[in-house]
Structures are given as structure tokens and as C-alpha cells.
Amino acid sequence: MMEADTLERLRRALAETKALEENARVPLGHDDADAGLKGGLFRGALHEIFAVPGHEGAACGFAAAAAFRLAGKKRVLWIQQEFAAAEFGRLSATGLLELGLDPAQLLLLRVGDGVEALRAASDALGCAALGAVVIEITGEPKAIDLVASRRLTLGAAEKGVAALLLRLHAGPQASTAETRWRIRAFSPPENENWGRPAYEAELLRNRHGNPGRWVMEWNGDDGVFQEAGAPDSRLVVSAPGDRPSAAALEKARCVA
């Protein structure tokens, strides 16, 4: 009798933990990628996003979309080095809005260097009211090492605030990240219309599964990643009068 009781209790505890864990994984929306990630990105963990050189804009977009998905309704803190605005441009509210992300949800922190960025990140990760912290680091400062990544991992796990380390002009190095991505803008092989932003996302490291490589398109209307060229994505191609039609463009190219 006693044993059955204990068993039942254990079973319930297990189910709860499982539910919690499932809840802690946030699906990206892209079916194959979510399957590879065993359900989605783990919220209380560190995720690294590297930009293929020249594709910083794309990596930034991927990071923003992922951060907002992870954050849900909560706020996102974006930590940026001061000079990044000159190098890669300032983060724009209208750009977020056009991606279907709410600019009012974002807090932007400008810091001097990597050390300050990490200091701010570990403080912010302790604030459970935040949904995600994006740490944008340019280059390979000494401060970003194995110890730093461990600290971010622990910080993210403590309160379940996702940590996204966005690395521009940098190569992967040893870390304790849950996932590591390499992002470039997707260039479709054939000529198509001007579609939604799409990324060639390479999952280089996946602590709970296999690496993978997918083309993901960001659907800002529904706030999900999806297969590139998913049925509805290119459906609405409006042709406002203020720009040349595809035919005119074709002609233009011939002239050139």
C-alpha cells in the first residue's frame, strides 16, 4: 500500500518535471529544427549565434527573432558595445516593428567593452521579469572565455532567463552553450519575388541532440520561423505603384 503510494507520488513528480521541462523548451516553429532540438530552444540556457562574415545583419535578425520567441510577453534586454552602432548600425525600433517584434518590449544597454557586457548580463539574468538577454559581442575580447560562458549558463539556468550570445566577427571557441548556431542570409537558387527574411541556419552544437542545417524563414505576421517557401509565405506579393514591376526590372537588367 505504502509502496504504491510512493510510486504514485514519484510518477506525479516526474510528470510535473517533464511538463516544466517541456514548458521550458520554446519551439521555433520550424518543424525539422524543433525536432532536432527535441522540442525547441531551452529557455534557461546559453545559446550562441555566430554570424558568417558579411552576414551580421542576418545573424542579428535571427537573434532578435529567437530572443522574442524565447521571451514571450516578457522584456528583452539587448546589450551592445558602443562602437557596434558605427560598425553594424544602431538597432532600429522600426526594423523590429517590421519583423513583427514589439519595440516597446526591448531594453537597450550600451556598454564599453566585453567585461562590462558580461557584468551587465550576469546582473540582468538574475531578473526573472526579463525573458531574454542578448549579448552582442564584436570581435574576440579576452573576457569572453570558457569561464564567462559557464557563468552565463549558470545565470540563465537560475531564473530561466534565456541568454543569447550574438558573436560578430568571431569564430567559435570552447564554451558551455546549450546550442551554437551559425547564420547567413539565405540566397535562393532561382529568381523569386522579394520574400520574407530567410536564414541558412547551421546548428553546430546541440547538447541534447544532433547538429543540423535548415533554411528558416521568419514569418513576422505569426511570429514563427517556418520552412522557406512555405505555402503561405510568398502568397501576398503586393505590387504597389511606387516600384517597378518584376518585368521592368528584368528589362533594366538587360539594359545594364
Partner 1 sequence: MSPDTPLVVAAKVDNALRLSAIDRKAARLGLEEGMPLANARAMLPALTVMQANEPADRQLLERIADWCDRFTPFVALHLPDTLLLDVTGVPHLFGGEKALTEQAVNGLTRQGFTVRAAIAGTIPAARALAWYGHGTIVPLGGEAAAMAPLPVEALDLDAAVVQAFHRAGLKTVGQVAGRGRAELTARFRKEMVFALDHALGRAEKPISARRPLPDYRAECRFPEPVATHDTILATLKSLAQRLASLLEENGQGMRRLEAAFFRADGAVRRIAVETGHPLRQAEVVERLFREKLDALDDPLDPGFGYDLIRLSVSRAERAASETAGFDADLNAEREIRFLVDRLAARFGSHRVLSFQPNDTHIPEAAWIDVPAQYARPSPLPWKPVREAGEAPRRPLRFFAAPERVDVLSVGADGVPLKFRWRRVVHAARHVEGPERIAMEWWRHQTAQPTRDYFRVEDENGRRFWLYRDGIRRETAEPRWFMQGVFA
Among residue numbers 98 through 117, which ones bind partner 1 (CB under 8 A)?
98-99, 102-104, 106-111, 116
CB nearer to partner 1: give 37 or 91.
Answer: 91
d(CA 217, CA 204): 19
Among 37, 51, 130, 224, indicate the residue that binds partner 1 (CB under 8 A). 130
CB nearer to partner 1: give 10 or 107.
Answer: 107
Among residue numbers 196 through 215, which ones bind partner 1 (CB under 8 A)?
196-198
Is 136 one of the binding residues for partner 1 (CB under 8 A)? no
Count of other CB atoms within 10 angstroms of residue 46? 29
Q: How far is the CB of 89 from partner 1 (least distance, A)?
A: 3
Q: How far apart are the first and last CA of the chain?
A: 86
Contacts of 150 (CB under 8 A, 6+ apart): 176
66 and 28 Cβ atoms separated by less than 8 Å: yes
Q: How far is the CB of 216 from partner 1 (least distance, A)?
A: 12
**β-pairing verdict for 46-51 and 179-185:** parallel
Among 72, 89, 209, 211, indicate the residue that binds partner 1 (CB under 8 A). 89
Among residue numbers 15 through 54, which ones bind partner 1 (CB under 8 A)?
54
Is 158 one of the binding residues for partner 1 (CB under 8 A)? no
d(CA 168, CA 57): 10
CA distances from 98 to 32, 102, 103, 223, 225 (A): 26, 9, 10, 11, 15
Q: How far is the CB of 209 from partner 1 (least distance, A)?
A: 26
CB nearer to partner 1: give 33 or 175.
Answer: 33
CB nearer to partner 1: give 10 or 104.
Answer: 104
Is 56 one of the binding residues for partner 1 (CB under 8 A)? yes
> What would the grid cell of residue 224 be?
514563427
